[in-house]
């Protein structure tokens, strides 16, 4: 019997993670030029009405969604109305990063609490240590990038899944896949398979339809009519996927415009970010299959690990 996680345990984990993420918000450099020119620069434009435009944001290509930018701009607009607000100029950069640190720490702490409920406090404590010590998490946790938002979505989605709230998990998945970064979809396939087996096809289809309308159609209308001036819906994430997967739009060269990394990039990146833990994680799937236990529980754990 797995002991239930306590509120005190959650608060301790959240506080520890928040301290690390706030340190990153204050001290970590920007590691990706895309973060500067594809997100901070458009954010400055949305907030102040001026700024440089990259070709991805040109109406001719429309590979990036302004709705994603607006999700961050709303935060700074709210901060600006506070008395003595510093959410302008350089201060806005650090203010938004601190907000991202809070979102990241909250997502991680909720995931750790869900792991404690499913696998015990020892597993959750180890997870907390590994997350806090990861160099990759240190930099990505406060980056203004779609991949960072997807990381929040994966953590929250899997936390919901582990807590027997599959609909919430699926909505987290549709949000990040349809609005933010479609290439993260494979991480939610195991969750979808498990949902089909537990809550049924009708419930899964309902989540999918709601997600497509809320995170696909509505942003496409906003982007098409308010930002790109196209006079029709513009699904920027769909344009991005078509460009990178099929070479349509943009310069016509697709994802290989600046070259492509070999397959070895991914395992090397995994080892860089998590070191020996990555190797232990890859072996955990075989360890679970070898342990005695109920078949249903093994299937659940296998699906979760295959997604991660």
Of the CA atoms within 13 Å of residue 194, those in its CB half-sphere come to 27
What pLDDT score does 178 carry?
Answer: 95
DSSP three-state, residue 296: helix
| Lowest-pLDDT choice from 104-118, 197-211, 261-275 | 261-275
Query: Taking the model in full, what pTM does it have?
Result: 0.88
What pLDDT score does 113 carry?
Answer: 92
Average pLDDT over residues 168-183: 94
pLDDT-derived band at 144 (thresholds 50, 70, 90) equals very high
Residue keyed to tokens 């302008």: 88
What pLDDT score does 299 carry?
Answer: 67
Residue among 72, 151, 163 at smallest CA distance from 112: 163
Angle made by CA atoms 106, 111, 114, in degrees to the nearest 5 = 125
pLDDT tens digits, one per residue of 239-257: 988 887 776 665 555 566 6
Average pLDDT over residues 132-150: 93
Task: Give the whole-number percent of the chain exceeding pLDDT 90.
Answer: 53
DSSP three-state, residue 233: coil
Residue among 68, 43, 46, 42 at smallest CA distance from 55: 42
What pLDDT score does 1 carry?
Answer: 44
| Chain centre distance of CA 20 | 18
Cα dihedral 306→153→271→257 (10° resolution):
100
What pLDDT score does 251 carry?
Answer: 55
Domain locations in the chain as residue ranges:
7-255
What pLDDT score does 85 carry?
Answer: 61
Cβ-in-10-Å burial (0-12, 13-18, 19+) of 49 comes to exposed
Distance CA 112, CA 13 (A): 8
Whether the CB-CB separation of 156 and 191 falls below 8 Å is answered with: no
pLDDT-derived band at 306 (thresholds 50, 70, 90) equals low
What pLDDT score does 292 carry?
Answer: 65
Residue among 129, 93, 120, 158 at smallest CA distance from 13: 129
Query: Could you tell me the CA-to-CA distances from 32 to 139, 165, 208 in Å, in that order?
Result: 10, 35, 32
- Whether the pLDDT of residue 36 is over 70: the answer is yes
Distance CA 38, CA 31 (A): 13
| Lowest-pLDDT choice from 8-22, 229-243, 250-264 | 250-264
């Amino acid at each position: 019997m797995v002991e239930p996680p306590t509120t005190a345990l959650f608060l301790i984990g959240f506080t520890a993670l928040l301290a690390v993420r706030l340190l990153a918000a204050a001290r970590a450099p920007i590691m990706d030029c895309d973060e500067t020119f594809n997100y901070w620069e458009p954010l400055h434009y949305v907030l102040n009405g001026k700024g440089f435009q990259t070709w991805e944001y040109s109406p001719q290509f429309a590979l990036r969604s302004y709705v994603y930018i607006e999700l961050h701009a709303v935060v700074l607009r709210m901060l600006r109305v506070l008395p003595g607000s510093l959410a302008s100029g350089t201060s806005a950069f650090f203010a938004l990063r601190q907000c991202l640190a809070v979102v990241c720490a909250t997502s991680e702490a909720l995931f750790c609490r869900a792991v404690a409920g499913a696998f015990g406090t020892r597993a959750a404590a180890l997870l907390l240590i590994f997350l806090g010590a990861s160099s990759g998490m240190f930099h990505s946790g406060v980056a203004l990038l779609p991949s960072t938002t997807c990381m929040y979505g994966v953590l929250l989605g899997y936390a919901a899944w582990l807590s027997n709230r599959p609909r919430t998990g699926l909505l987290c998945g549709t949000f990040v896949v349809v609005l933010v970064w479609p290439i993260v979809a494979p991480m939610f396939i195991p969750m979808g398979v498990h949902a089909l087996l537990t809550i049924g096809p009708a419930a899964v289809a309902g989540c999918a339809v709601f997600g497509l309308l809320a995170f696909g159609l509505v942003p496409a209308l906003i982007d098409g009519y308010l930002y790109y001036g196209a006079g029709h819906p513009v699904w920027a994430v769909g344009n991005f996927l078509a460009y990178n997967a099929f070479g349509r739009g943009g310069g016509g060269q697709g994802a290989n415009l600046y070259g492509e990394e070999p397959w070895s990039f991914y395992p090397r990146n995994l080892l860089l970010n998590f070191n020996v833990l990555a190797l232990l994680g890859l072996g955990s799937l075989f360890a679970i299959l070898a342990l005695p236990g109920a078949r249903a529980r093994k299937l659940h754990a296998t699906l979760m690990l295959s997604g991660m």
